[in-house]
Amino acid sequence: SQTIHQWPATLVQPVGSPLSLECTVEGTSNPNLYWYRQAAGRGLQLLFYSVGIGQISSEVPQNLSASRPQDRQFILSSKKLLLSDSGFYLCAWSQNRLLNTEAFFGQGTRLTVV
């Protein structure tokens, strides 16, 4: 069966520090991968999605970047965190097939920038 791992679960980082969140998927190949952010009391915002290794699409301009160095690994990064980067970050995967909108989410990382 497929599983998705996301870590760490919680993170407190000072403003201006770098960030690296990692997500890995097991039990499937060539998945679509996603990073979302949910700020406190707000909706779930799609940040990045990837349909293959090295293929990253950004949905909104921001202080973050994403990379997909391996088929089932998705990394969210920042060189210098801002206070506004605080939020609940979720990684997700879906099968890479036409019109598929069934995604499976990780447990999330709650990031607090102080």
Partner 1 sequence: LAKTTQPISMDSYEGQEVNITCSHNNIATNDYITWYQQFPSQGPRFIIQGYKTKVTNEVASLFIPADRKSSTLSLPRVSLSDTAVYYCLVGDKIIFGKGTRLHILP
- From the CB of 10, what's the least distance to partner 1, in Å? 10
Which whole-number Å values give the CA distances from 102 to 34, 47, 76, 98, in the listed order? 12, 18, 22, 11
**Under 8 Å between Cβ of 62 and 68:** no
Q: Which of residues 14-43 bind partner 1 (CB under 8 A)?
A: 34, 36, 43
Q: Which of residues 85-104 bind partner 1 (CB under 8 A)?
A: 88, 90, 92, 94, 98-104
Does 105 bind partner 1 (CB under 8 A)? Our answer is yes
Q: How many residues bind partner 1 (CB under 8 A)?
A: 24
